[in-house]
Chain A
Amino acid sequence: MSQTLLINPTAMEAGLLASAEARGRSPAFDAFAKIGLPHRRLEAWKWTDVRGAMRAALPEAASGAEVIAPSSFSAVDAFEITVMNGAAEWSGAPPQGVAVELAKSGEALSPLAADHPLGSLAAAFANNTLNISITGGVARPIHLRRIAGAGASYSRVRIKLADGASATLIESFDGAGAYFANSLTEAAIGANAKLTRDILQDGSDDGVETALFAASLGAGAAFHQTALLLGGKLIRMETRLALEGAGASADFKSASILSGARHADLTTHIAHQSTGCATRQIHKSALRDRARGVFQGKFLVARGAQKTDAEMQAKALLLSDTAEANHKPELEIYADDVQCAHGSTAGAIDEEALFYMRQRGLDEHQARALLIEAFLADVFDGAERINIAEVMRQRMHAWLEKAA
Chain B
Amino acid sequence: MLKIKNLHVAIDGAEILRGLSLDIPAGEVHAVMGPNGSGKSTLSHAIAGRDAYEVTAGSAKLDGENLLALDPNERAAKGLFLSFQHPMEIPGVATMNFIRTALNAQRRARGQEEMSSADFLRLIRDKARLVGLSDEKLKRPFNVGFSGGEKKRMEMLQMAIFEPRFAIMDETDSGLDIDALKMVGDVVNALRGPGRGFLVITHYQRLLEHIRPDRVHVLAGGRIVKSGGPELAEELERSGYDQYTEAA
Interface residues of A (CB under 8 A from B): 350-353, 355-364, 366-367, 370-371, 373-375, 377-378
Contact = CB atoms under 8 A, between A and B. Distances in A.
A364 B76 contact: no
Contacts of A370: 93, 98, 101
B219 interface: no
A356 B82 CA distance: 9
- Among A359, A371, A373, A374, find the residue whose CB has the most chain B CB atoms closer than 10 A: A359
B71 A358 contact: yes
B73 A363 contact: yes
B123 interface: no
- Among B87, B92, B98, B141, find the residue whose CB has the most chain A CB atoms closer than 10 A: B92
Given A361-B73, A374-B91, A375-B92, A356 B105 contact: no
Contact of A366 (B49, B82, B105): B105
Contacts of A361: 73, 76-77, 102-103, 105-106, 109, 162
A393 B150 CA distance: 31
Contacts of B162: 360-361
A355 B51 contact: yes
Given A353-B88, A359-B81, A362-B73, 5 more contacts: A361-B103, A361-B162, A366-B101, A371-B90, A374-B93
Nearest to A352: B88
A316 to B, nearest CB: 16
Interface string B69-107: 001110111000110100110111100001101110110
A377 B72 contact: no
Closest 5 CB pairs of A and B: A374-B92, A360-B102, A358-B72, A361-B106, A361-B76
B48 interface: yes
- Among B72, B88, B91, B106, find the residue whose CB has the most chain A CB atoms closer than 10 A: B72
A373 B106 CA distance: 21
B226 interface: no
B107 to A, nearest CB: 9
The DSSP consensus for interface residues of chain A is: helix
A358 B72 CA distance: 6
Nearest to B108: A361
Interface in B18-57: 48-52
B76 A358 contact: yes
26 contacts: A353-B88, A355-B48, A355-B50, A356-B84, A356-B87, A357-B102, A358-B73, A359-B48, A359-B72, A359-B73, A359-B82, A359-B84, A360-B76, A361-B73, A361-B77, A361-B106, A361-B109, A361-B162, A364-B71, A364-B73, A366-B105, A367-B73, A370-B98, A371-B93, A374-B92, A374-B141
B26 to A, nearest CB: 22
A358 B75 CA distance: 9
A374 B90 contact: yes
B205 interface: no
A361 B76 CA distance: 5
B61 to A, nearest CB: 18
Contacts of B59: none
B105 A362 contact: yes
Contacts, number: 73
A367 B109 CA distance: 15
Nearest to B84: A356
Contacts of A360: 73, 76, 98-99, 102, 158, 162
Contacts of A371: 90, 93
A374 B98 CA distance: 11
A285 to B, nearest CB: 15
A32 B186 CA distance: 75
Given A358-B76, A359-B82, A370-B98, A378 B48 contact: no
Nearest to B45: A355
B105 A363 contact: yes
Contacts of A357: 90, 98, 102
A350 B92 CA distance: 13
B84 to A, nearest CB: 7
Nearest to A355: B50
Contact of B92 (A362, A364, A377): A377
B93 to A, nearest CB: 5
A353 B51 contact: no
A286 B62 CA distance: 38
Interface in B111-140: none
A283 B109 CA distance: 37
A373 B82 contact: no
B172 to A, nearest CB: 15
B213 to A, nearest CB: 23
B114 to A, nearest CB: 12
- Among A350, A357, A371, find the residue whose CB has the most chain B CB atoms closer than 10 A: A357
B90 A356 contact: yes
Contacts of B98: 357, 360, 370
